[in-house]
Structure 1
Amino acid sequence: MRRCWLGLFLLPLLCRAAEPEPLRVMTDLWPPFRMEAADGTLIGLDIDLLDELSRRSGLRFEIERAPWARGLAALEQGRADMMTGLAKTPERERYIQYLETPYYACSPRFYARPSVASLLDRYDRLRGLRIGYVLESAYFPRFDADQALDKVGVSAEAQLLEMLVRKRIDTLIGTDCQVDFALLAPNLAGHIVKASYQPQARTDLYIGFSRKRLAQLPRVAAALSSMQTDGWIARAAMRYHEVVVQQ
């Protein structure tokens, strides 16, 4: 009898021990993919994505909000498991293992006040302008590598929009998925617009794992593949606005 009671006592402990630890996901605000609700919780397409990945894979995710550069550093150092919304670059591939296919795509665009935007009709018009960008972000190779431009780096997109309104920068670079959504705000609509110049580039968004913490990558990859096959991501994007629906 004592042995039976011992078995009943140990069984829940053994089951809990067999469960994988939650994956630590680094992220920052990037509407409409990651936004802060009134109660302080995170919402958005990427949060929905993680919830559905959890449901399909049986894994749990613990989301930690931090500036983008700090999140990348956590992956490089092996202090976190993964990030969403990652653009692929050779530098990042040293320490990030990307899932095979992107789950979404945006386009890099420049934004400015209307008087500047209409004149910014080709790349070389960027010379002499103060250009805001997010530190450690990847936009398109020519811009990313251009040391001659007057670039002003900040930690978050929201800072760039405020700086542009206050004329502390002349233009900013961002991805249309995110900035177009932000410009729906009444205080920004019409005051900031897309520049005429459009880079011939596309920003694919990936899920990436720290190369030091790859154990659960296959389970996440299998769950994401099933979501792409059945159209879950396209349907989820419709909840936010047509500007985030991939064309």
Structure 2
Amino acid sequence: MSLVRFRFLLPLLVLTAAAFPARADEMLLATNDLSSRRISASESKAGPDVDFLREIARRSDADLKVAQMPLGRGLASMQSGAVDVMAGLSYRDEQARYIVYTDTPYSRCSTAFYTLNGQSKEIRDYRDLSGRQIGYVLHSTYFDRFDKDGNLNKVGVPEEQTLIDMLLKRRISVMIGTDCQVDYHLRHLGLTSTIEKAPYGPGNAVVLFLGVSKKSAWAQRIGALNRIIRDLVDEGYVERIGREFYRTPS
């Protein structure tokens, strides 16, 4: 091709590239965030985890897709590589076989027990859990004493929404969960005057990370994701969305 002809075609090539920009990389998020059932990732209020991942995707020039599924199926999808990322994960050696955890946690919470309003005062000590049906999410770990206690009457279900429904229907008397996540759901479901937190809590720290499937192409970009999460924490972004999502809706 002659230089003159190339100079003639160059503006056309630039215009074509502008008209058809390169497609952003896709990032598929598996979440059991209750709000994601009703709100898509493109809407303004999609739940704290989705909002957090949406900002990570934006800074990564990625197209975020959201797949709502129970925790167990989400972990299985991470293991197979069917999804790319999950948020709200505590570090577990077993899961680290197929998940790369980011090096900076983005949230710190604690384990809590919840009952119907007026009943929480009955649970002031770990021993008060004895004889009660306690709902928990399958494949979750809470704190060592509870996880290993085979004498408690535990009822495992796939997701937190089922626990809340069972508690409201009195099919269980207590549910266990991570306080920052459960408190958010109760506020946004309008249940803060119906379900309350028990005085007893183990006082443990639940540190939450973003996890990336080792079979995902995003695992090769873990360094970039680490930098983005550190920036979001340092900028106060995570704290801001926490204030937005955890305040009681009007």
TM-score, normalising length: structure 2: 0.82
- The answer to whether the Cα contact below 8 Å between 2:183 and 2:246 also exists between their aligned partners in 1 is no
1:224/1:38 Cα in 2 relative to 1: closer, same or farther (>3 Å)? Answer: closer
* Cα deviation code 1:116-160 (max 9, x no counterpart): 421211112212211101111222222122222211111221211
Q: Distance in 2 between matches of 1:149 and 1:231?
A: 40
Cα displacement (A) at 1:40: 9.9
Partner AA of 1:26 in structure 2: A
- The answer to whether the Cα contact below 8 Å between 1:112 and 1:171 also exists between their aligned partners in 2 is yes
Please name the residue that 1:121 is paired with: 124
Q: Given the alignment, which residue of 59, 81, 89 partners 2:84?
A: 81
Please name the residue that 1:165 is paired with: 168
Q: Distance in 2 between matches of 1:28 and 1:189?
A: 20
Partner AA of 2:30 in structure 1: M
Q: Distance in 2 between matches of 1:182 and 1:25?
A: 19
Q: Distance in 2 between matches of 1:142 and 1:182?
A: 26
1:185/1:66 Cα in 2 relative to 1: closer, same or farther (>3 Å)? Answer: closer
The residue correspondences of 1:31-180 to structure 2 (distance < 5 A) are 34=36, 36-37=38-39, 43-114=46-117, 116-180=119-183
The residue correspondences of 1:190-201 to structure 2 (distance < 5 A) are 190-201=193-204
Q: Distance in 1 between matches of 2:79 and 2:182?
A: 28
Q: Does 1:26 align with 2:25?
A: no
Cα displacement (A) at 1:186: 7.9
1:184/1:23 Cα in 2 relative to 1: closer, same or farther (>3 Å)? Answer: closer
Cα displacement (A) at 1:187: 6.2
Q: Distance in 2 between matches of 1:216 and 1:24?
A: 15
SS of 1:183's partner is: helix
Q: Distance in 2 between matches of 1:185 and 1:192?
A: 13
SS of 2:25's partner is: coil
SS of 1:37's partner is: coil
Q: Does 1:238 align with 2:240?
A: no
| Identity across the alignment (%) | 35
Q: Distance in 1 between matches of 2:126 and 2:144?
A: 13
Partner AA of 2:121 in structure 1: S
Q: Distance in 1 between matches of 2:188 and 2:30?
A: 27
Partner AA of 1:223 in structure 2: I
1:150/1:40 Cα in 2 relative to 1: closer, same or farther (>3 Å)? Answer: farther
- The answer to whether the Cα contact below 8 Å between 2:33 and 2:47 also exists between their aligned partners in 1 is no
Gapped regions of structure 1 (runs ≥ 5): none
Q: Given the alignment, which residue of 214, 229, 233 partners 1:228?
A: 233
Cα displacement (A) at 1:60: 2.9
SS of 1:206's partner is: strand
Q: Does 1:183 align with 2:186?
A: yes
- The answer to whether the Cα contact below 8 Å between 2:37 and 2:68 also exists between their aligned partners in 1 is no
SS of 1:105's partner is: strand
* Cα deviation code 1:92-115 (max 9, x no counterpart): 122211101210111110011345
Gapped regions of structure 2 (runs ≥ 5): none
SS of 2:230's partner is: helix
SS of 1:215's partner is: helix
Aligned residues: 238
Q: 45-54 or 71-80, which moves further after superposition?
A: 45-54
Structure of higher CA gyration radius: 2
- The answer to whether the Cα contact below 8 Å between 1:29 and 1:36 also exists between their aligned partners in 2 is no
- The answer to whether the Cα contact below 8 Å between 1:106 and 1:176 also exists between their aligned partners in 2 is yes
Q: Distance in 2 between matches of 1:166 and 1:220?
A: 42
